Amino acid sequence: MYNKSMRGISKKGIAIKSFTLSWIMVAGILITIPTAVWAFFFLPKNSADQNTASEQSQTTEENQQAADSSKQGGTGSKSSGSKKSGSSSSGSTSQNGSGGGSTNLVLVALGDSITNANSPSSSMVGDNKSYSFSTGSNINSLYNHLINSGLSVAPYNLAVSGAKSADMLSGQVPTAVSLNPNYVTILIGGNDMLSLLSGEPVTPEQFQSNLSAAANQIKASGRRVLLGTIPNYGVMWQAGYPACANYPYDPALVSWAIDQYNSIISGVALSSGSTLVDLYPYLGTGDVSDYDCLHPNLTGQQKIANRFIAGL
Protein backbone atom coordinates (compact mmCIF):
# COMPACT_ATOMS: atom_id res chain seq x y z
CA MET A 1 0.00 0.00 0.00
CA TYR A 2 1.17 3.54 -0.73
CA ASN A 3 1.89 5.57 2.40
CA LYS A 4 1.85 9.34 2.09
CA SER A 5 3.94 9.64 5.19
CA MET A 6 6.81 8.09 3.26
CA ARG A 7 6.95 10.94 0.71
CA GLY A 8 9.22 13.95 1.16
CA ILE A 9 12.76 14.87 1.99
CA SER A 10 14.43 13.81 5.17
CA LYS A 11 17.93 13.43 6.54
CA LYS A 12 18.04 9.94 5.06
CA GLY A 13 17.27 11.12 1.57
CA ILE A 14 14.27 11.54 -0.73
CA ALA A 15 11.30 9.27 -0.08
CA ILE A 16 9.45 8.06 -3.17
CA LYS A 17 6.56 5.78 -2.40
CA SER A 18 8.01 3.00 -0.30
CA PHE A 19 11.54 3.62 -1.48
CA THR A 20 13.96 6.09 0.00
CA LEU A 21 16.63 7.47 -2.35
CA SER A 22 19.64 8.15 -0.14
CA TRP A 23 21.72 11.28 -0.54
CA ILE A 24 24.63 9.13 -1.73
CA MET A 25 22.52 7.77 -4.54
CA VAL A 26 21.29 11.27 -5.37
CA ALA A 27 24.88 12.45 -5.63
CA GLY A 28 25.70 9.53 -7.89
CA ILE A 29 22.82 10.40 -10.20
CA LEU A 30 23.88 14.04 -10.36
CA ILE A 31 27.37 12.97 -11.41
CA THR A 32 26.34 10.22 -13.81
CA ILE A 33 23.81 12.17 -15.88
CA PRO A 34 26.18 15.04 -16.95
CA THR A 35 28.91 12.52 -17.65
CA ALA A 36 26.63 10.52 -19.90
CA VAL A 37 25.51 13.67 -21.71
CA TRP A 38 29.15 14.75 -22.28
CA ALA A 39 30.09 11.31 -23.57
CA PHE A 40 27.15 11.21 -25.92
CA PHE A 41 27.72 14.60 -27.48
CA PHE A 42 31.47 15.01 -27.36
CA LEU A 43 33.15 11.60 -27.41
CA PRO A 44 32.23 10.72 -31.03
CA LYS A 45 33.53 14.09 -32.21
CA ASN A 46 36.91 13.56 -30.56
CA SER A 47 37.12 10.11 -32.07
CA ALA A 48 36.43 11.55 -35.50
CA ASP A 49 39.12 14.18 -34.93
CA GLN A 50 41.57 11.47 -34.02
CA ASN A 51 40.69 9.57 -37.17
CA THR A 52 41.13 12.73 -39.23
CA ALA A 53 44.50 13.42 -37.63
CA SER A 54 45.52 9.85 -38.28
CA GLU A 55 44.51 10.17 -41.92
CA GLN A 56 46.42 13.45 -42.25
CA SER A 57 49.51 11.89 -40.70
CA GLN A 58 49.26 8.95 -43.07
CA THR A 59 48.87 11.29 -46.04
CA THR A 60 51.91 13.30 -44.97
CA GLU A 61 53.92 10.13 -44.58
CA GLU A 62 52.85 8.94 -48.01
CA ASN A 63 53.79 12.27 -49.55
CA GLN A 64 57.19 12.12 -47.89
CA GLN A 65 57.71 8.59 -49.14
CA ALA A 66 56.74 9.70 -52.60
CA ALA A 67 59.20 12.60 -52.41
CA ASP A 68 61.94 10.30 -51.20
CA SER A 69 61.19 7.86 -53.98
CA SER A 70 61.34 10.70 -56.46
CA LYS A 71 64.74 11.75 -55.14
CA GLN A 72 66.01 8.21 -55.24
CA GLY A 73 64.61 7.71 -58.69
CA GLY A 74 66.41 10.87 -59.83
CA THR A 75 69.76 9.87 -58.42
CA GLY A 76 70.92 8.51 -61.72
CA SER A 77 70.14 11.71 -63.53
CA LYS A 78 71.45 13.80 -60.67
CA SER A 79 74.90 12.31 -60.99
CA SER A 80 75.10 13.87 -64.40
CA GLY A 81 72.04 16.09 -64.64
CA SER A 82 71.99 17.91 -61.32
CA LYS A 83 75.55 18.90 -61.78
CA LYS A 84 74.40 20.64 -64.90
CA SER A 85 71.62 22.36 -63.05
CA GLY A 86 73.92 23.38 -60.25
CA SER A 87 71.53 22.08 -57.60
CA SER A 88 72.96 18.76 -56.57
CA SER A 89 73.31 18.14 -52.86
CA SER A 90 76.60 16.40 -53.52
CA GLY A 91 77.84 19.53 -55.21
CA SER A 92 77.34 21.57 -52.03
CA THR A 93 79.64 19.27 -50.10
CA SER A 94 82.14 18.56 -52.82
CA GLN A 95 84.46 21.08 -51.24
CA ASN A 96 83.98 23.46 -48.32
CA GLY A 97 80.22 23.13 -48.45
CA SER A 98 77.73 25.88 -49.17
CA GLY A 99 76.65 26.91 -45.73
CA GLY A 100 73.49 24.80 -45.76
CA GLY A 101 70.38 24.90 -47.88
CA SER A 102 69.89 23.78 -51.44
CA THR A 103 72.58 24.72 -53.90
CA ASN A 104 71.54 27.13 -56.64
CA LEU A 105 74.88 28.16 -58.16
CA VAL A 106 78.13 26.44 -59.08
CA LEU A 107 81.62 27.93 -58.93
CA VAL A 108 84.42 26.10 -60.76
CA ALA A 109 88.12 26.90 -60.46
CA LEU A 110 90.55 25.89 -63.23
CA GLY A 111 94.29 26.29 -63.21
CA ASP A 112 97.50 25.18 -61.59
CA SER A 113 99.21 25.30 -58.19
CA ILE A 114 98.33 28.94 -57.54
CA THR A 115 94.62 28.06 -57.60
CA ASN A 116 95.42 25.24 -55.16
CA ALA A 117 97.22 27.65 -52.80
CA ASN A 118 100.27 25.43 -53.04
CA SER A 119 103.04 25.96 -50.45
CA PRO A 120 102.18 29.50 -49.33
CA SER A 121 104.80 29.15 -46.58
CA SER A 122 107.40 26.76 -45.25
CA SER A 123 104.86 25.56 -42.68
CA MET A 124 102.19 24.86 -45.32
CA VAL A 125 103.98 22.84 -47.96
CA GLY A 126 101.76 21.23 -50.60
CA ASP A 127 98.24 22.05 -51.75
CA ASN A 128 96.10 24.05 -49.32
CA LYS A 129 92.85 24.36 -51.26
CA SER A 130 90.96 25.86 -48.33
CA TYR A 131 93.13 28.98 -48.84
CA SER A 132 92.51 29.19 -52.58
CA PHE A 133 91.68 32.67 -53.85
CA SER A 134 88.81 31.11 -55.80
CA THR A 135 87.12 28.40 -53.76
CA GLY A 136 88.86 28.60 -50.38
CA SER A 137 86.86 28.69 -47.17
CA ASN A 138 89.63 30.04 -44.91
CA ILE A 139 90.15 33.39 -46.63
CA ASN A 140 87.86 35.99 -48.16
CA SER A 141 87.86 34.09 -51.44
CA LEU A 142 85.55 34.58 -54.38
CA TYR A 143 83.51 31.68 -53.00
CA ASN A 144 83.14 33.25 -49.56
CA HIS A 145 82.31 36.59 -51.16
CA LEU A 146 79.42 34.98 -53.05
CA ILE A 147 78.24 33.18 -49.90
CA ASN A 148 78.39 36.39 -47.87
CA SER A 149 76.36 38.07 -50.60
CA GLY A 150 73.51 35.70 -49.74
CA LEU A 151 74.01 33.23 -52.57
CA SER A 152 74.02 29.46 -52.23
CA VAL A 153 77.10 28.16 -54.03
CA ALA A 154 78.78 24.80 -54.60
CA PRO A 155 82.55 25.22 -55.13
CA TYR A 156 84.58 22.86 -57.32
CA ASN A 157 88.35 23.29 -57.45
CA LEU A 158 89.52 21.32 -60.49
CA ALA A 159 92.99 22.85 -60.62
CA VAL A 160 96.02 20.55 -60.73
CA SER A 161 99.37 21.68 -59.40
CA GLY A 162 101.96 21.71 -62.15
CA ALA A 163 99.34 21.91 -64.90
CA LYS A 164 100.02 23.71 -68.14
CA SER A 165 97.41 25.09 -70.51
CA ALA A 166 97.28 21.83 -72.48
CA ASP A 167 96.67 19.86 -69.27
CA MET A 168 93.86 22.18 -68.28
CA LEU A 169 92.27 21.89 -71.70
CA SER A 170 92.27 18.11 -71.75
CA GLY A 171 91.80 17.28 -68.07
CA GLN A 172 89.87 20.09 -66.38
CA VAL A 173 87.71 21.76 -69.01
CA PRO A 174 85.53 18.72 -69.84
CA THR A 175 84.64 18.28 -66.17
CA ALA A 176 83.96 21.98 -65.80
CA VAL A 177 81.58 21.94 -68.77
CA SER A 178 79.70 18.97 -67.32
CA LEU A 179 79.12 20.89 -64.09
CA ASN A 180 77.37 23.71 -65.98
CA PRO A 181 78.89 26.36 -63.70
CA ASN A 182 77.60 29.85 -63.12
CA TYR A 183 81.06 31.18 -62.28
CA VAL A 184 84.43 30.02 -63.61
CA THR A 185 87.87 31.25 -62.59
CA ILE A 186 90.85 30.49 -64.82
CA LEU A 187 94.42 31.18 -63.76
CA ILE A 188 96.88 29.33 -65.98
CA GLY A 189 100.08 30.09 -67.85
CA GLY A 190 102.75 30.26 -65.16
CA ASN A 191 104.08 26.79 -65.95
CA ASP A 192 103.82 27.47 -69.67
CA MET A 193 105.85 30.63 -69.17
CA LEU A 194 108.44 28.88 -66.99
CA SER A 195 108.87 26.24 -69.67
CA LEU A 196 109.81 29.00 -72.07
CA LEU A 197 112.53 30.12 -69.66
CA SER A 198 113.77 26.59 -68.96
CA GLY A 199 114.38 25.58 -72.56
CA GLU A 200 111.41 23.20 -72.98
CA PRO A 201 108.98 25.79 -74.17
CA VAL A 202 105.28 25.87 -74.63
CA THR A 203 105.40 28.50 -77.32
CA PRO A 204 103.13 31.53 -77.11
CA GLU A 205 101.28 30.20 -80.16
CA GLN A 206 100.60 26.87 -78.45
CA PHE A 207 99.52 28.63 -75.30
CA GLN A 208 97.12 30.83 -77.23
CA SER A 209 95.61 27.84 -79.03
CA ASN A 210 95.09 25.94 -75.76
CA LEU A 211 93.64 28.88 -73.85
CA SER A 212 91.33 29.90 -76.69
CA ALA A 213 89.97 26.37 -76.99
CA ALA A 214 89.39 26.20 -73.24
CA ALA A 215 87.63 29.56 -73.06
CA ASN A 216 85.44 28.81 -76.06
CA GLN A 217 84.35 25.47 -74.62
CA ILE A 218 83.52 26.97 -71.25
CA LYS A 219 81.73 30.12 -72.31
CA ALA A 220 77.93 30.03 -72.24
CA SER A 221 75.10 32.50 -72.02
CA GLY A 222 74.80 34.01 -68.56
CA ARG A 223 78.02 32.38 -67.32
CA ARG A 224 80.69 34.54 -65.69
CA VAL A 225 84.18 33.48 -66.74
CA LEU A 226 87.03 35.36 -65.04
CA LEU A 227 90.45 34.95 -66.65
CA GLY A 228 93.51 36.00 -64.65
CA THR A 229 96.89 37.15 -65.90
CA ILE A 230 100.28 35.84 -64.74
CA PRO A 231 101.64 37.70 -61.68
CA ASN A 232 104.86 39.68 -61.95
CA TYR A 233 107.34 36.96 -61.02
CA GLY A 234 110.21 39.27 -61.96
CA VAL A 235 109.39 41.38 -58.90
CA MET A 236 108.25 38.54 -56.63
CA TRP A 237 111.56 36.69 -57.10
CA GLN A 238 113.40 39.68 -55.66
CA ALA A 239 112.16 38.87 -52.16
CA GLY A 240 114.95 38.33 -49.65
CA TYR A 241 114.33 34.63 -49.03
CA PRO A 242 117.12 32.10 -49.63
CA ALA A 243 114.80 30.23 -51.99
CA CYS A 244 114.76 33.23 -54.30
CA ALA A 245 118.33 32.51 -55.30
CA ASN A 246 117.03 29.47 -57.21
CA TYR A 247 115.61 31.69 -59.96
CA PRO A 248 118.62 33.26 -61.66
CA TYR A 249 116.67 34.26 -64.76
CA ASP A 250 117.49 37.44 -66.57
CA PRO A 251 114.88 39.99 -65.40
CA ALA A 252 114.55 41.28 -68.94
CA LEU A 253 113.79 37.76 -70.21
CA VAL A 254 111.25 37.19 -67.44
CA SER A 255 109.53 40.48 -68.21
CA TRP A 256 109.42 39.66 -71.95
CA ALA A 257 107.98 36.16 -71.36
CA ILE A 258 105.28 37.36 -68.98
CA ASP A 259 104.34 40.16 -71.37
CA GLN A 260 103.97 37.62 -74.18
CA TYR A 261 101.66 35.35 -72.24
CA ASN A 262 99.66 38.10 -70.58
CA SER A 263 99.04 39.71 -73.95
CA ILE A 264 97.61 36.39 -75.13
CA ILE A 265 95.45 36.07 -72.01
CA SER A 266 94.09 39.57 -72.56
CA GLY A 267 93.25 38.79 -76.18
CA VAL A 268 91.53 35.51 -75.33
CA ALA A 269 89.46 37.22 -72.63
CA LEU A 270 88.30 39.78 -75.16
CA SER A 271 87.50 37.30 -77.94
CA SER A 272 85.69 34.86 -75.67
CA GLY A 273 83.71 37.43 -73.73
CA SER A 274 85.49 36.58 -70.48
CA THR A 275 86.33 39.11 -67.78
CA LEU A 276 90.03 39.90 -67.64
CA VAL A 277 91.47 39.96 -64.11
CA ASP A 278 94.85 41.69 -64.25
CA LEU A 279 97.12 40.44 -61.46
CA TYR A 280 100.44 41.66 -62.88
CA PRO A 281 100.73 45.02 -61.04
CA TYR A 282 99.40 43.82 -57.70
CA LEU A 283 101.79 41.17 -56.33
CA GLY A 284 105.31 41.97 -55.15
CA THR A 285 108.08 40.83 -52.84
CA GLY A 286 105.76 40.75 -49.81
CA ASP A 287 103.35 38.34 -51.47
CA VAL A 288 105.59 35.36 -52.26
CA SER A 289 106.20 32.15 -50.29
CA ASP A 290 109.33 31.91 -48.17
CA TYR A 291 109.40 28.20 -49.03
CA ASP A 292 109.96 28.37 -52.78
CA CYS A 293 109.85 32.05 -53.76
CA LEU A 294 107.38 31.07 -56.46
CA HIS A 295 103.87 30.61 -55.10
CA PRO A 296 101.88 33.43 -53.53
CA ASN A 297 101.82 33.41 -49.76
CA LEU A 298 98.51 33.88 -47.91
CA THR A 299 98.72 37.63 -48.37
CA GLY A 300 99.23 37.06 -52.09
CA GLN A 301 96.28 34.66 -52.23
CA GLN A 302 94.09 37.32 -50.64
CA LYS A 303 95.26 39.97 -53.11
CA ILE A 304 94.41 37.62 -55.99
CA ALA A 305 91.01 36.97 -54.44
CA ASN A 306 90.39 40.70 -54.13
CA ARG A 307 91.11 41.16 -57.82
CA PHE A 308 88.78 38.35 -58.87
CA ILE A 309 86.05 39.68 -56.59
CA ALA A 310 86.47 43.11 -58.17
CA GLY A 311 85.99 41.46 -61.56
CA LEU A 312 82.46 40.28 -60.77
| Structural domain boundaries enclosing 208 | 83-310
Residues 23 and 147 in one domain: no
Percentage of the chain lying above the pLDDT 70 cut: 67
Residues 90 and 45 in one domain: no
Residues 279 and 246 in one domain: yes
Query: What is residue 21's predicted lDDT score, i.e. its pLDDT?
Result: 57
Between 233 and 76, name the one with better pLDDT.
233
Domain boundary among 29, 48, 73: 73
Helix (H) or strand (E) holding 251: helix 251-272
Query: What is residue 7's predicted lDDT score, i.e. its pLDDT?
Result: 52
48 pLDDT band (50/70/90 cuts)?
very low
Residues 61 and 91 in one domain: no
Q: How far is CA 57 from CA 60, 66, 158, in A?
A: 5, 14, 46
Mind giving me the DSSP string for 24-59?
HHHHHHHHHHHHHHHHHHHHHHHHHHHHHHHHHHHH
Residues 205 and 135 in one domain: yes
Residues 48 and 89 in one domain: no
Residues 183 and 205 in one domain: yes
State yes or no: pLDDT of 72 exceeds 60: no
> How many residues are listed for the chain in this entry?
312
Residues 18 and 162 in one domain: no
Residues 141 and 256 in one domain: yes
Number of domains in the chain: 2
Query: What is residue 29's predicted lDDT score, i.e. its pLDDT?
Result: 67
State yes or no: pLDDT of 161 exceeds 90: yes
Q: Please report which residue ranges of 74-105 form alpha helices under DSSP H.
A: 75-77, 83-85, 89-92
Query: What is residue 249's predicted lDDT score, i.e. its pLDDT?
Result: 87
Mean of the per-residue pLDDT values of the chain = 80
- Domain for residue 149, yes or no? yes
- Domain for residue 4, yes or no? yes
Residues 141 and 171 in one domain: yes
Distance from C-alpha of 212 to C-alpha of 182, rounded to nearest angstrom:
19
Percentage of the chain lying above the pLDDT 90 cut: 61
State yes or no: pLDDT of 9 exceeds 70: no
Least confident of 11-20, 123-132, 174-183: 11-20
Report the candidate in 108, 113, 146 with the shortest Cα–Cα distance to residue 131: 113
Q: pLDDT digits over 76-85, tens only? A: 333 333 333 3
148 pLDDT band (50/70/90 cuts)?
very high
Query: What is residue 28's predicted lDDT score, i.e. its pLDDT?
Result: 63
Task: Output DSSP code: residue 185.
Answer: E
Query: What is residue 199's predicted lDDT score, i.e. its pLDDT?
Result: 79
State yes or no: pLDDT of 49 exceeds 50: no
3-class DSSP state of 224 = strand
Residues 127 and 54 in one domain: no
- Domain for residue 78, yes or no? no
Query: What is residue 91's predicted lDDT score, i.e. its pLDDT?
Result: 35
Query: What is residue 13's predicted lDDT score, i.e. its pLDDT?
Result: 62
Distance from C-alpha of 211 to C-alpha of 263, rounded to nearest angstrom:
12
1 pLDDT band (50/70/90 cuts)?
very low
Report the candidate in 286, 259, 265, 284 with the shortest Cα–Cα distance to residue 207: 265
Residues 191 and 63 in one domain: no
Domain boundary among 51, 73, 95: 73
Query: What is residue 82's predicted lDDT score, i.e. its pLDDT?
Result: 32
17 pLDDT band (50/70/90 cuts)?
low
